Amino acid sequence: MKRSYQRIETRESKILRYMRQSKDLSMRAAGRLVNLSDSTINHYEHGRLDISQATTARLVEGYGYTMADFEEFMRGREIPENTKDECIALLNRIDDAKLRAVHAVLTSFTR
């Protein structure tokens, strides 16, 4: 059912947005992955369009997650607000020796 005039953000829409963003995918890139328009992705993520279970599975798997991951979030696993902020918070808790190892790994991703 289309309801683009009304925004009802659900836990499901927040999880889908997190999953897409955690893979550093724009709405356009995500749409190309699953053969949907970026505006449809936007409507799903902002609660302006109801989403079927089949489409949810298509998005989740297209983003490189499993439905088990999705269901874990639906059962209450915390949805990080921002992946970069979450990483920074983790880095702040790591001692210097381990941080050097993390630095080496991160540096290898940027080459």
CATH topology of domain 1-79: 434 Repressor (Amino-terminal Domain) (1.10.260)
C-alpha of 60 from chain center: 9
The band of 90, judged by pLDDT with boundaries at 50, 70 and 90, is: confident
- pLDDT tens track for 3-37: 556 778 899 999 999 999 989 899 999 999 999 99
Provide the greatest CA pair distance for the chain: 54
Rounded to whole angstroms, the Cα distance separating 32 from 29 reads 5
Q: State the average pLDDT over residues 50-59.
A: 96
**Residue/partner pairs of 22-27 with CB below 8 Å, 24 or more apart:** 22/63, 22/80, 22/83, 23/63, 23/64, 25/63
Distance between terminal CA atoms of the chain?
46
